[in-house]
Chains A and B, each alone.
Chain A
Amino acid sequence: DAKTTQPTSMDCAEGRAANLPCNHSTISGNEYVYWYRQIHSQGPQYIIHGLKNNETNEMASLIITEDRKSSTLILPHATLRDTAVYYCIVSVIKAAGNKLTFGGGTRVLVKP
């Protein structure tokens, strides 16, 4: 079962930042926070992941609270192509075969 809680849906204005929250209050010390997204009719796409430090890449920023019980994915300048379902996942990084457990995700609609 998924160990994360996310809002079911949210809207965002094109060009504005989108802040997607995720609660993972039962996260273990060796579990990473991963974010994936699924654009309609496509396979999921990796966005970013982190353990305890904030992370940034070309797609997004990930802010993890100090107690690691929640995190926020930030899309700095949302575009219409960012409309998708965003999944927050906690997972241990194993030697091989990371098991990703997807929950319901947040359906993000970017509006013009």
Chain B
Amino acid sequence: DTAVSQTPKYLVTQMGNDKSIKCEQNLGHDTMYWYKQDSKKFLKIMFSYNNKELIINETVPNRFSPKSPDKAHLNLHINSLELGDSAVYFCASSQSSRVRREQFFGPGTRLTVL
């Protein structure tokens, strides 16, 4: 039933570690996104992939690397984690052929860097 799912839901790790967050959508959409919501609750887009091709790449440190193995998956790998990376990360998807272009969001992954 789940449309956009993310794993894990919570991630607690030490500074300097490398971690990955996975995202899967079963809506048949061709576009996927990663957003970051910081402690002040502002949501900012990080990346977007359309048919496995990177189309949006905001000013994000090189330590963040998205990977899209297929249209249904968009994973986010983060190297050398820093305290400032602590946030909630949301994955979303949309279908480019739909007039509304509405984005469907996952439940979020709360990352805490100690």
Contact = CB atoms under 8 A, between A and B. Distances in A.
Interface string A10-36: 000000000000000000000000100
Contacts of B45: 99-101
Interface string A33-55: 01000100111111001000000
Given A49-B100, A102-B43, A43 B50 contact: no
Contacts, number: 61
A46 B104 contact: yes
B103 A97 contact: no
Interface residues of A, number: 23
B108 A43 contact: yes
Nearest to A45: B105
Contact of B50 (A46, A49, A97): A97
Contact of B55 (A38, A44, A96): A96
Interface string B11-39: 00000000000000000001101000000
